[in-house]
Structure formats: C-alpha cells, structure tokens
A and B are shown apart, each in its own frame.
Chain A
Amino acid sequence: MREGSPLSREDPVKAATVASVSTEGDPEGSVRVTLRGVIVALLAPAVATVVAAPVSNTRPEISIAVFMLAVVIAAVAGGLWSGVIAGLLASIIRPVVVEAPLSFRFNDVEDIATGVVFLSVALVVGLLVGQASEERARASRREREARFLGTLSTKLHTGEVPDRVLNEFAEVLMEPFGLSRVQIDASLDGTEVRAVAHAAESAPGGPRTRVQLIAGDAPIGQMIAERPAGGRPFSRDDQLLLEASARQATAALDRARLDARARMAQLDAETNQLRAAMFSSVTHDLKTPLASIKAGVTSLLDPTGHHDERQERELLTTVLEETDRLNRLVGNLLDLARIRAGALTPTRQPAAMDEIVEAVLARMRPRLADHRVTAEIPGDLPDVSVDPVQMDQVLTNLLENAGRHSPAGGEIQVHLLWMNGGVQVRVADEGPGIPADERERVFEAFYRGASHPETSGSGLGLAIARAVIVAHGGRIWIEDSPSGGCVVAFEVPREEERV
C-alpha cells in the first residue's frame, strides 16, 4: 500500500485540466431568474415605451413592432423569464401609452391579441435562446470532459506497474474535481492494493461519492472521492465523469498488468537462454578443475603409487592452480548472480582511481610476470565517487583478460586519464584483437569470442565489468590498439548522477 503524495508540485497535465470539468455555473442558468434578467426585463419595455410614445397614436403598428423588438431583446439577453416578464409588461403598457395615459384597461380584442403574441414570442425566443445556450454549455463541457479523459488516458498509459497507475490516477482526479481526498481500494490478481491521494490542507467531512471499479464485467474494487467540508455536492455529471475516468483507470490497469506479464515472459525467455548457456559452460568450467584436483589428490593418497618429490610437487601445484581457477570462477558466478538479482549496488565513496589502479597492478604483477606491464598514471586526478572494491575487481578482470590474450613477452599498457568530467582507464594488450562485429557481444555473459573459443576464461569477466561500470553511470567499450591487439576502456563520471 502506498500513499499518493498531496498535490503540491507543478504538473503540466494537471494544470491543463484544472477546474476544466467543474460543473459550476451550470447551463440551467438560462432558465433561472438572474439580476441581469430582471434588469433587461424591466429596461427593454421601458425603452420601448419611450421610443414608441411619439408614434403610438398615429402609427400603432410601429409601436407594436417596437414593443415586439423589446420583448425579443429581453428574451435573447435575459432568457426565458426576462422575455415573459417583458412580454407581460409590454402587453400592459402598450395599450396604456397608445390610448389613454394612466387609464389601466384593456380596450378590445386587439390589445389582448397583441399581448398574447408578445408572450408567445417571448416564450418561443426565450426557450430557443435557453436551449441554444444550454446546448453550448453542454458541448463545451463535453469537450472539457473529453479533453480530461484524453489527458487521463495519456497520463495513465506509461507502462507503469499497476499500483503506480492507481496512485497516478488518484492524484490526477484531485484538482479537476476539487477533491480533498481520493481513496482507491482494488484487488489486483489477488493482491489488495490501496492508493490514496489527499490535498495538502482540507477539512474532512465534506460530500463524498463512491464509484465502482469494473474490469471486464467483474468489479475489482471501489473509489471513494471526497470534497472538502462545505464543498459542492457531487452532481450527476460529476458522478458520470468519475465513472468514465474509473473505466479508463481500469483499462490502464489492465494494460499495465499485461505489460508486466509480457516483461516477465521476456525475462523468463532471456533467463532460460542464459541458463542453457550457463549449464554447458559452467558444467565444463566447474568440473574441469575439480577433476584435476580430485585426480591429483587421489593419486597422492594412493598407497600403491610411488611419487618422487618432483612428481609430488607437480601434482600439488596442479591442485593449487586448479583451486585458484575454481575460486575465480565461483566468484564470477556469484557476481553474475548478484547482477541478475539486481543486487550489484556500488557502495560509493570518494576514491582516487590512480591508487586503485596501482594497488591492482601491484597485486597482479606476479600473475602477469610473463608480460611487460607499463602504466601511465597521473597522481593528481580528482577523486571519483566509486565503489573501490568493485573498481578493483573490474581492473583485475581487464588485466586478467589482457594477460590471457597477450602472447608471452607482450606488452600490457595501462593508461589513466581525465576525460569528459570523469576518469577514463584504458588497458591495451598485444593479443589478436577483437573483430568489430564481436565488440558488443564480448560483454555478454558466457560469450568467449568466436575467433578464440579455446581461451581459458569463463566468459564472465567483461560481463561483470560492464555491469559494474554501468551501475556507476559509466560506459565500457573496445577499441583497436595502435600496437595491434585491443584496448578495453571504461569511463566513470566523477559524481554519482542525481536522478
């Protein structure tokens, strides 16, 4: 269970949808009596009276037209009720100003008919105007809703893990709906997941509503949305939009679940492939030294055999060498397992790469006694933030490789330099080199190079080196060496990159 963070940070998507789906200032306003409506309803007939007065006795048809215009204006500007009021007023005033000022009466059928026409016009125009504005409001609301659901869909379709989707969803709803709190409880593949988002500061106990989350046909959970105390109650439109949003969320959830499954399947396939390679490789690599060790030791223990001192030493030396080989292999396999488990996390500390390189060279010298090892190591480079033990291991692997691939007496050059705001280490050998099309693949676990499959490495050294360097935010690659052979180079940035 994870809590969604309060909506305090800036978010462009959210900003775009803020308040856009609020149903405040709803379209029914055209039917309600507003202050503006009242003013228009009173003003329009009054103006008509003034305009029509001079001509009303001589040209009654003009006065009728003027009053009619007033009624229409009132209905258009103020809505249905303004029109009706204006119509009533016009019906009463017109006969009065036309015939006998201040004599309050309806003369004849003509006046009554005019009044009825005024009211009918007011009704028709008012209703049409009201409908049109309602239609307009509804259309723009629909557009806003569609836009909201659209952004919601983009927001949710991020290939995230399922519970991230729910958290994201809860947060996205907050501002557009003016919510103080959203809580989603769902059951995903048998696991109960809860996502909660709440506004930074808001009083509890406001209106709330409940929306079911339905995936396919089956309910998988529910969402409770709450507004701050004293907030607007949830309208039917709010409810419908929340339900539509919830449908989107469950769809996104389904996608996320499928994505996760697909990823797992891919990982499984990779793992299986790796496992097959591992079996053939590891079986051979583990059994060979064990066979030598067992043969040597049983030979020494055999009471029927006789070994002179030289033979004895030879057997024991073999046992020792094979033990070392086994030890390195097991170490590499453990590292590989750690990489696969995502447990190869560097423990960084400020360290001087020159010191690490020198220490590794000092330790490796006896093992590289058959080669000429030269080093160019400036002592004044800035510290880098690395795991010294892991760096030691990378260098050891690279030097071991160089030693293995170089002919006896060949030169192994180690260079340390400052490049691109980080430290670069280069290990060059005089071996056969690596063809361009194999330069990526040599970093894969158990890859031993098609051109020289007989070399005795485990095929893990470079894979581990790359995993370590990548974990440090650096990169590792292979170049041609000017002296023939190849250069394995890596770079690590000075500081851990802040994400």
Chain B
Amino acid sequence: MSRVLVVDDEPQIRRALRTSLEAHGYEVQAVGTGEEAVIGAAESAPELMLLDLGLPDIDGTEVIRRVRGFTELPIIVLSVREAQHDKVAALDAGADDYVTKPFAMEELLARARAAIRRAQPGEPLAPAIRYGALEVDLGRRLVTLDGAPLRLTPTEYQLLEAFATNPGKLLTHQWLLRKVWGQGYGTETTYLRTYVRALRKKLGDDAQAPQLIVTEPGVGYRWIAEGTSEAS
C-alpha cells in the first residue's frame, strides 16, 4: 500500500483528498504546514507528496527545495490556475508534476499512479517500448514507425529519449534544454520548439490531437503515450 503525504492548509481539501485516496487504497498522512511537510517527508518516507503551494508558513517552492535536499520522492503540486508562474518555479525547483485546482479526482489519481510508477526502483526501463505504431529501442538507439526505421538527428533522438524515459511527467522548457543541449542552456525555447515540431512530424503526431506529446503553453511538454514493453 502506497503512502501519500498530503500537504494543504485547507481542512476541507485534506478531508476530500484523504477520503478519495483511501478509497483507492492509499495510506494518507495529511498535514497543513510546510514545516510538517518537510518533517513528514523525512520521517514517514511516503511514496508521493501532494503539495499545495500556498502554505501559511513556508512557500511551497521552498518546501520542494528542502525536500529535494534529501529525497527524490515524487512531488505533485496542487495549484490554482492564477499561479502559473509559481507552477513553473515549482517544477524547476524539482516538483514532478502539477494539477490545477479544482481538479477531477481521476486526473489526480492518474498523475499519482504515473509519478509513483516512475519512481519505482529496480525496474530497468524495457530496452524497447512500443507506443502504437511507434517503437523506441533505447538499448539499440533504434526508432521505427510502422516497422520502418525512422531517421532522427542526434538532437531529435535525445529529445525523444528524454520524453520516453519520463512518461507522463511534465517536462519544463528549462529541464528539456538542460537535458538535451546541456547545462548552459535554459532559455532558448525557440530551439526547443523547432526540434519538438520536427520530432512530432517525424513521429506522425498531430499537435491538435496529440497521441504522444502534449504542449503545455508557457511551461513545457508532456509525453502522454502509454508504452508497452516488448522483449527484444
């Protein structure tokens, strides 16, 4: 049974989350302050943290930074739409994902499952993953679409690899730029967009009805395809 640490200063939200999460088999610890959140993350070793950014004592982003000082525990930020720039800051500080309040429970549960799964240790990524007609073989660095090999530039391949190894996770512009282009990058979003566009085209993904990569304007991208592993 997975343990979830819920951090929100609103008792109603804590109650609603506790009830829903427990109904889905999670063990819930709910706290109302940033201090308690940091302590809870350290002492009860939860498998997931659901964190509201507007806490009475410490700023939510600061909580993420402190927690990231000792654990890679997945953190999903719960935020209101108005705080768009706080969201990006929270993601850049190390949060894994965010869900906008008010959210649908099924969406939160899906994100929670994905975050916990990504954090599962000891389960090496399958060497070849199939997403419908697309097959990505990270072991052999081979990408095929409908069985035919795809020619990707090295940058496009690295970008695809970053996406495929972080399924379901919202990857910020800054994160992707650093991951693919290197530490010196972070603001060159035009490059990133050009390559994402090229990659989408080669993978046959329609940005207006995406099956693989979803754009979060002003924030980043998310790989949404559920992969199935194949024995190679």
A interface residues, Cβ below 8 angstroms from B: 320, 323, 327, 331, 334, 347, 349-352, 355-356, 358-362, 365, 375, 377, 379, 383, 387-389, 391-392
| Interface mask (B107-149 → A, CB under 8 Å = 1, otherwise 0) | 0000000000000000000000000000000000000000000
- Which chain B residue has the least Cβ–Cβ distance from A359? B215
Return chain B residues, CB-CB under 8 Å to A356: 215, 217
Task: Among A320, A331, A352, A361, find the residue whose CB has the most chain B CB atoms closer than 10 A.
Answer: A352
B102 at the A interface (CB under 8 A):
yes
Q: Which of the four size classes fits the interface of chain B? A: 10 to 19
**Is the beta-carbon distance between B190 and A388 smaller than 8 angstroms?**
no
Bound state CA distance, A375 and B208, in angstroms? Answer: 9
Q: Contacts A356-B215, A388-B218, A389-B84 given; 10 further ones with Cβ under 8 A? A: A349-B189, A355-B193, A355-B207, A358-B208, A358-B215, A361-B209, A362-B210, A365-B208, A365-B209, A388-B217
Bound state CA distance, A361 and B208, in angstroms? Answer: 6
Return chain A residues, CB-CB under 8 Å to B217: 351, 355-356, 359-360, 388-389, 391-392
The verdict on A347 contacting B208 (CB below 8 Å), with A355-B215, A391-B217 known, is no
Return chain B residues, CB-CB under 8 Å to A362: 207-210, 214-215
B interface residues, Cβ below 8 angstroms from A: 81-82, 84-85, 102, 104, 189-190, 193, 197, 207-210, 214-218
**Is the beta-carbon distance between B208 and A389 smaller than 8 angstroms?**
no
Chain A min CB distance to B87 (Å): 10
**Is the beta-carbon distance between B207 and A359 smaller than 8 angstroms?**
yes
Bound state CA distance, A392 and B217, in angstroms? Answer: 7
Chain A min CB distance to B220 (Å): 11
**Is the beta-carbon distance between A359 and B193 smaller than 8 angstroms?**
no
Chain A min CB distance to B85 (Å): 6
Bound state CA distance, A387 and B189, in angstroms? Answer: 14
Return chain A residues, CB-CB under 8 Å to B193: 352, 355, 383
Select one of B102, B208, B210, B218 contacting A323, CB under 8 A: B102
Bound state CA distance, A115 and B104, in angstroms? Answer: 118
A-B contact pairs, 18 of them (CB 8 A): A320-B104, A327-B102, A351-B189, A351-B218, A352-B193, A355-B197, A355-B207, A358-B208, A359-B216, A361-B208, A361-B209, A365-B208, A379-B197, A383-B193, A388-B218, A389-B218, A392-B217, A392-B218
Chain B min CB distance to A83 (Å): 83
- Which chain A residue has the least Cβ–Cβ distance from B193? A352
Bound state CA distance, A204 and B81, in angstroms? Answer: 56
Return chain B residues, CB-CB under 8 Å to A391: 217
Bound state CA distance, A29 and B189, in angstroms? Answer: 74
Chain A min CB distance to B162 (Å): 18
Return chain A residues, CB-CB under 8 Å to B215: 355-356, 358-359, 362
Bound state CA distance, A356 and B193, in angstroms? Answer: 11
**Is the beta-carbon distance between B208 and A334 smaller than 8 angstroms?**
no
Bound state CA distance, A388 and B193, in angstroms? Answer: 13
Bound state CA distance, A383 and B190, in angstroms? Answer: 8
Chain A min CB distance to B53 (Å): 16
Return chain B residues, CB-CB under 8 Å to A355: 193, 197, 207, 215, 217
Chain B min CB distance to A179 (Å): 47
- Which chain A residue has the least Cβ–Cβ distance from B214? A362
Return chain A residues, CB-CB under 8 Å to B197: 355, 379
Chain B min CB distance to A417 (Å): 17
Bound state CA distance, A359 and B102, in angstroms? Answer: 20
Task: Among A331, A334, A360, A388, find the residue whose CB has the most chain B CB atoms closer than 10 A.
Answer: A388
Task: Among A351, A360, A377, A389, find the residue whose CB has the most chain B CB atoms closer than 10 A.
Answer: A389
**Is the beta-carbon distance between B84 and A359 smaller than 8 angstroms?**
no
Task: Among A327, A347, A355, find the residue whose CB has the most chain B CB atoms closer than 10 A.
Answer: A355
Chain A min CB distance to B25 (Å): 22
Bound state CA distance, A359 and B104, in angstroms? Answer: 20
Chain A min CB distance to B102 (Å): 6
Return chain B residues, CB-CB under 8 Å to A350: 189-190
- Which chain B residue has the least Cβ–Cβ distance from A387? B218
Return chain B residues, CB-CB under 8 Å to A323: 102
Task: Among B85, B104, B207, find the residue whose CB has the most chain A CB atoms closer than 10 A.
Answer: B207
Bound state CA distance, A116 and B128, in angstroms? Answer: 129
Bound state CA distance, A249 and B93, in angstroms? Answer: 54
Bound state CA distance, A349 and B216, in angstroms? Answer: 14
Return chain A residues, CB-CB under 8 Å to B214: 359, 362
Chain A min CB distance to B133 (Å): 19
Return chain A residues, CB-CB under 8 Å to B189: 349-351
Task: Among B102, B189, B193, B217, find the residue whose CB has the most chain A CB atoms closer than 10 A.
Answer: B217
Chain B min CB distance to A378 (Å): 12
- Nearest 5 Cβ contacts at the A-B interface: A388-B218, A358-B207, A359-B215, A388-B217, A361-B208
Return chain B residues, CB-CB under 8 Å to A388: 217-218
Return chain B residues, CB-CB under 8 Å to A352: 190, 193
**Is the beta-carbon distance between B207 and A349 smaller than 8 angstroms?**
no
Return chain B residues, CB-CB under 8 Å to A331: 81
Chain A min CB distance to B208 (Å): 5
Bound state CA distance, A388 and B219, in angstroms? Answer: 9
Bound state CA distance, A350 and B189, in angstroms? Answer: 8
Bound state CA distance, A350 and B209, in angstroms? Answer: 24
- Which chain B residue has the least Cβ–Cβ distance from A327? B102
Return chain B residues, CB-CB under 8 Å to A387: 218
Bound state CA distance, A362 and B208, in angstroms? Answer: 5
The verdict on A349 contacting B81 (CB below 8 Å), with A355-B193, A358-B208 known, is no
Bound state CA distance, A377 and B218, in angstroms? Answer: 19
Bound state CA distance, A379 and B189, in angstroms? Answer: 15
Chain B min CB distance to A372 (Å): 13
**Is the beta-carbon distance between A347 and B82 smaller than 8 angstroms?**
no
Return chain A residues, CB-CB under 8 Å to B207: 355, 358-359, 362
Chain B min CB distance to A499 (Å): 24
Chain A min CB distance to B136 (Å): 22
- Which chain B residue has the least Cβ–Cβ distance from A338? B82
- Which chain B residue has the least Cβ–Cβ distance from A353? B217
Chain B min CB distance to A175 (Å): 45
